[in-house]
Every structure is written in C-alpha cells, then in structure tokens.
Structure 1
Amino acid sequence: MKKLICFDLDNTLIYSDKCHILAYNYALKQEKLAVPSKKFLVSLFGMPHYKLIELIAPDLDSEDIEKLTRLHDNILVRKTYKYSKAVAGTVKTLDTLKKDYNLAILSNSSHRNIILLLKGAKIDKNLFKIIIGNDDVKRSKPYPDEIFKAEHLFHTKADFMIGDSIYDMLAGKRANVKTIGVLTGHYPRMLLKKQGADYIIKSVNKLPQLLKEVNNK
C-alpha cells in the first residue's frame, strides 16, 4: 500500500498571494471597508479565512464576516485565480512522488477555490488522489480535521503534513503526523521550528531527496 503525504496549497505548491490580495481588496472596497497594507495582509495568510477577516475588519459581526468571505471567493473565482503560479519544480516533484505515495491537498481555501487555483497555476488536479478544502470539514487548520479525513478516506495513517505556515505544523502535530515546513511562504524557519516542524526544506522541489534520506535511516 502506498504511503500518504498531505500538502498545503497556498505558498507550498503555488504562489497565490496576488490572487488573494486582489480578491480581498475588491471585496473590502465593495463593502466600503478600509483596505489593509499588503504587508499586514500577507502576514495573516495561512490562518482560517474567518479569523483573517476578524483581524482586518474587527468591527464586523459573524454575518458580515461570512458575506465578506463569499465576496472574496466569488472575486477569486471570476477574476483573480488566473494569477496563481506553481512554485518552481512543483509539477516535476509531484510526478516523481505519485509513483510511491498517495498525494492529498489539505487547504484552508474552499474546495472550489483549490481547483481553480490549481488550474491557474497549470497543475493537474489529477496528480492528487484527494482534495480537501475548508468546506469539506467542520474545522480547518490548525485543527487536524482535514488530516483525519484524508486518513479515513485512505484507510491509512498519513506519513507527513507539508506546508509553509505554523497552522500546517500545528495541524500535523495535533494529528500525530510528522511535519515538513517549506520556506516559500511568509513564515521564517525559526517560527516553523518553534511550532513543531520535524524537518524544514527550502521548497517542495527538495522533498524527494529529504524523503529518500528519511526512509534510509
């Protein structure tokens, strides 16, 4: 039986900051809300969307947060997903890994947005045996629900959770899964390590070599 590897999406397999920044900016302007600086906004990427919106628009109630989330998603679907780009070496790495592993995407984006962001980045969604978004589980990362769902569907324990953010590391630890941090996002090595990363690599294109080294120990 093939082993299971779980990947985050944004800033792990793809660069999608521009997609989300433009979508949030459009949504905030449409609702006549203040637009935060790019630096502040990207510092929040990786956390659940409702939590991010609470921080950029703290006066909104739960109904307004849900409305702004829908606006962001609709704008991403209609306009901004096309700015997604694959991290260098991602497609080659996934092609290599799928021979020996089942690959899953676990993301704090919705299932629909994941599919579109992959399309924008020209990554074949069929490289992944399963795709789980925040609307496929009750609680998204940093909770371990997405990992548990992937394990349930594959009837096997995940070997690794791979991502760029502290929320990926926390989810992996809570699921008792080894974690690999990548440095293609906005979280520094020290912070990923502090939140429990077992291994840290520059990007996913270094993953086959790391797995070879780990499996040979």
Structure 2
Amino acid sequence: MHPHPPILLFDVDGVLLDSRGHFLAALDSMHDRFTNWNYEILARTTSVDIIRMFESGAKKRSIPSLATMLKNFKELIPNRFRRLVYIAMMGRKIDKYDWQFSDFFPGTEETLRYLRSKGIILGAASNSHRDRIAKWFKLKNVDDLFPLFISRDVRKTYGVKPSPVPLLALLVKIKKYYHFPKIDRNRVAFIGDLITDVQAAQRAKIKSIAVLSGHSARGELEFHNPDYIIPDINSIPQILPKLFPDDKFE
C-alpha cells in the first residue's frame, strides 16, 4: 500500500507557459541603439542568451541580482551607465510583453485536468515571482489544480533551483496539506525545461522529466541524464505507466 498517490511537480516557464513575451522583449531590446551594444558580440548572441543572462541575475536578491546582471552584460554593453539603463528597461519590458504575448502551451489545461482526474497530485516550483504565477494560474483557470506552489519569493529560506530545497520544501507542504503519513520519493517526479530543473530533481532524489518546449536543446539536457525527455507536457500521459508502474491509468 502506497502512502500517497503519484505526485507531479512542474516548473512554469517553458513547461506550462511558453514565455513568448520574454523572447520578444529580448529581440526588441537588441534593436535599441541607445544601449550601445558591442555589435561584434551581439551578432553571435540570441534572444535565448539574453533571457538567460537576465534571469540568472533576476533569481537572486536585489543587490546581488544587479551585480550579477552587470557582470553578465559587461562584454555586450561595455558602458556601465548604458548597462544600468538596459537592465532597468529590460525588466519593465519583460513584464509588459509577458502579459501581451505569452500564453500557456496548447493543451496544457486539458493535460493537467486529465492528470488530476487520475488522482495525481500536482504542484509547481518556479524561480518566478509568486504574484505572477498566481495571476497566470487564475487567468488560465488552473488555480484549483495548484493549491500549493513554491516561488522565488521564498528564496531567502529555500534558495532557488538547482538547489533541491525548493522541491523538498514543496513536498513537505504537500504532505501536510493532504495529510499524507510520509512522502515516497519514488512516487514523485519534477518536470522542467532547464538543466537546473534536472539537477534539482536529481539532488532531491526524485524522478526528472525534461521537456523540449522551453529554453534548452535536447543535447544539453541529455548530457545531464534526466529520467525522461519528452516534447512537452502533453506527452506525460503516455509515460505514466513507466513513471508509476504500480498504478493503473485507464
């Protein structure tokens, strides 16, 4: 007898949400002449690179965040003042474009409701802000499916991925919320699109599922040996019998 039903934890951006607004914000910013780019380096830079450079700093506290982003963009934007202006502008542009152009991937709500109908417990662990996640969940009518999630707002307590602590903290919350006697990590999987997601799952000793719908290429994900690599979350129902072989999904 298992102590609880299967548990699936999800990253948000690149897994549930296409983050198209982020990419468009990055592309738009790359055409801003005021920024005084190093165009030789910019020519070898993609919008994904820009987003990664920005988000790697945005995951941390304010002062370390600024220092990280100033360092990340030093070669691309040599002038320190222009760099500061760009970072401030980029943050506002990402927020604006996010609500204008981003959306859930097709079939996301249907897949999530199917999984929940099979008794699977759902949770989310994201490096994004809590208010943003809650707003998207409510907008896309899935807030009832995610009574519990972990965001970057609690990073001072739990850190951020690739640390396993956010995932483990979420599992503790799920255990208490559903009154499970304990958590069997063999019955838990985390779905993400980044290497840091795979690493967080592996360090938390739960199953890792990498999706190709986000920021990472198959090759870099394969290098870190996730348990499964799938095109997107709509493929999860197909691998449920392998994920949780003791359960019946009809």
Task: State the TM-score, normalized to the length of structure 1.
Answer: 0.78
* Structure-to-structure mapping, 1:17-96, within 5 angstroms: 17-19=20-22, 21-22=24-25, 34=37, 40-43=46-49, 45=51, 48-50=55-57, 53=69, 54-57=71-74, 68=87, 75-77=93-95, 80-96=98-114
Kept in 2, the 8 Å contact 1:23–1:73? The answer is no
Q: Distance in 1 between matches of 2:205 and 2:130?
A: 24
Residue 154 of structure 2: which of 136, 147, 168 is its match?
136
* Structure-to-structure mapping, 1:1-217, within 5 angstroms: 1-19=4-22, 21-22=24-25, 34=37, 40-43=46-49, 45=51, 48-50=55-57, 53=69, 54-57=71-74, 68=87, 75-77=93-95, 80-99=98-117, 100-118=119-137, 122-138=140-156, 139-155=159-175, 156-157=183-184, 159-216=188-245
Kept in 2, the 8 Å contact 1:5–1:160? The answer is yes
Kept in 1, the 8 Å contact 2:21–2:94? The answer is no
Tell me by how many angstroms 1:202 deviates: 1.0
Aligned length: 212
Q: Compared with structure 1, are the counterparts of its residues 181 and 123 closer, same or farther at alpha carbon in structure 2 (3 Å cutoff)?
A: farther
CA RMSD of aligned residues (A): 3.5
Q: Distance in 1 between matches of 2:191 and 2:141?
A: 17
Tell me by how many angstroms 1:76 deviates: 4.6
Identical amino acids, percent of aligned pairs: 25
Structure number with bigger Rg:
2
Q: Deviations over 1:82-110 (max 9, x none)?
A: 32211122111100111322211111111
Kept in 1, the 8 Å contact 2:26–2:51? The answer is no
Paired amino acid for 2:128: S
Q: Compared with structure 1, are the counterparts of its residues 72 and 111 closer, same or farther at alpha carbon in structure 2 (3 Å cutoff)?
A: farther
Q: Compared with structure 1, are the counterparts of its residues 20 and 111 closer, same or farther at alpha carbon in structure 2 (3 Å cutoff)?
A: farther
- What runs of 5+ residues in structure 1 fail to find an aligned partner? none
**Larger deviation: 44-53 or 105-114?**
44-53
Task: Pick the structure with more strand per residue.
Answer: 1
Q: Distance in 2 between matches of 1:17 and 1:57?
A: 25
Task: State the TM-score, normalized to the length of structure 2.
Answer: 0.69
Q: Distance in 1 between matches of 2:73 and 2:89?
A: 15
Kept in 2, the 8 Å contact 1:8–1:106? The answer is yes
Tell me by how many angstroms 1:137 deviates: 2.6
Paired amino acid for 1:50: G
Q: Deviations over 1:126-184 (max 9, x none)?
A: 22131211112332111112101101112235510101111110111111111001111
- What runs of 5+ residues in structure 2 fail to find an aligned partner? 59-67, 176-182
